[in-house]
Amino acid sequence: MEDIPQNSHAAKPIAMVHGVVRNLLNKQGIPYALVVAASLKYYATGKGSGDKVPMALAAYKRAGLEFEDDNQCDAAWLRWAGLDWLGCPEFSLPAVQRAALKKAQWQNPLQPQYDTPETLRSFLKLCLDPGHGIKRTPEKLAEVLPEPLVRKAVEFAPYLGTLRHAAQALDGEARKAQQVYADALAGWIHGEEPEPVRSMPLLQAVAVAYDAAVSHAVGCGTCWPGMRLAEMCPDGQRAAIASLDTVPRRRPSARTTRTTGFARCPAKSSCVAAVSAWRPFLNLMA
């Protein structure tokens, strides 16, 4: 709740309301926090002074919500601040704005430890469906879940860490592909001719990356021939990927698909990802 304002003509009636509300909360064992108005404004807008208009605009920008009056807007931001402090924010905010939460008076029960999978599950269920007609999709929850809670979930379910790592890798590849497309579009707009690109057949790309991975494994103290590409050290993975960037000296025949030195592959990430899937077939070819 918003703390009692200092040096205000409204301080006395607000203090009386606070007394009634806090008494009821204490009887019910419900923890609460006190947030001064300046801290709440800074959390919402990045500025601790001014009128309520910036807070209303920030609420519309962050949550797409509009309110009939300032009190409803303040209540919404207080709720969002509490959820953020609990580790389940409704949306992302800059770190400098979130730092304002440290100035509030938080009771210890508002800092749960989540020592068991059951306690963490219960809280995340509340984050998905906090009530009052508000629901969050699992995709949105995964997007805003703070790192400490992510690490706790991975501690209880290690496979979540593997899936998250894979999702981050794919997201990185998608951003790179989007940048390549944007650069190509910009080049076309300015009348620049694209560099000719010849594609490499998928099976040839797999073989090239596989040979590079094996060559690296021979001299690496961490990797060994036969392990999956995703299990190799970062240098081994980079070596396999870099092998697809070599320029061909001659056109390969059907009998020389295992040699290195092929054209740059425009679907490099897809080809490298296929190495593990094609490994049994490549072993038969060896």
pLDDT digits (tens, 9 = 90+) for 217-254: 888 878 877 777 777 888 888 888 888 776 454 444 44
Burial class (CB in 10 A: 0-12, 13-18, 19+), 226: exposed
**Statement to judge: residues 142 and 49 lie in one domain:** yes
**Would residue 186 count as lying in a domain?**
no
**Statement to judge: residues 144 and 68 lie in one domain:** yes
Q: Does the pLDDT at position 83 exceed 80?
A: yes
**Would residue 260 count as lying in a domain?**
yes
**What is the mean pLDDT of the segment spanning 194-211?**
73
**Statement to judge: residues 246 and 133 lie in one domain:** no
With pLDDT > 70 as the criterion, what percentage of the chain qualifies?
79
Band of the pLDDT at 73, cuts 50, 70, 90?
very high
**Would residue 271 count as lying in a domain?**
yes
When mean pLDDT is compared over 92-101, 197-206, 246-255, the highest value belongs to 92-101
- Residue 85 makes CB contacts below 8 A (sequence gap 6+) with 33, 101, 104, 106, 110, 111
Q: How far apart are CA 87 and CA 124, in angstroms?
A: 10
**Statement to judge: residues 204 and 251 lie in one domain:** yes
Cα–Cα distances (Å) from 140 to 40, 89, 123, in that order, read 24, 10, 15
**What is the mean pLDDT of the segment spanning 109-122?**
73
Q: Does the pLDDT at position 33 exceed 70?
A: yes
Give the three-state DSSP class for 9.
coil
**Would residue 177 count as lying in a domain?**
no
**Statement to judge: residues 124 and 249 lie in one domain:** no
Domain that holds residue 105: 11-159
| pLDDT for res 112 | 56
With pLDDT > 90 as the criterion, what percentage of the chain qualifies?
9
pTM to 2 decimal places: 0.43
**Would residue 187 count as lying in a domain?**
no
**Statement to judge: residues 19 and 155 lie in one domain:** yes
Burial class (CB in 10 A: 0-12, 13-18, 19+), 221: exposed
**Statement to judge: residues 86 and 133 lie in one domain:** yes
**Statement to judge: residues 242 and 140 lie in one domain:** no
**Statement to judge: residues 142 and 260 lie in one domain:** no
Band of the pLDDT at 198, cuts 50, 70, 90?
low
**Statement to judge: residues 154 and 221 lie in one domain:** no
For 112-179, give the DSSP string: ----SHHHHHHHHHHHH--BTTB---HHHHHHH--HHHHHHHHHH-HHHHHHHHHHHHHHHHHHHHHH
- Averaged pLDDT of the chain: 77
| pLDDT for res 280 | 43
**Would residue 193 count as lying in a domain?**
no
**Would residue 223 count as lying in a domain?**
yes
Q: Of 159, 181, 206, which one is at a domain's C-terminal end? A: 159
In total, how many domains does the chain have? 2
- Rg (alpha carbons) of the chain, rounded to whole number: 28
| pLDDT for res 234 | 84
Structure tokens at 128: 């998905």
**Would residue 229 count as lying in a domain?**
yes
**Statement to judge: residues 140 and 258 lie in one domain:** no
Q: Does the pLDDT at position 256 exceed 60?
A: no
Cβ count within 10 A of residue 141: 14
Between 283 and 191, where is the model more confident?
191
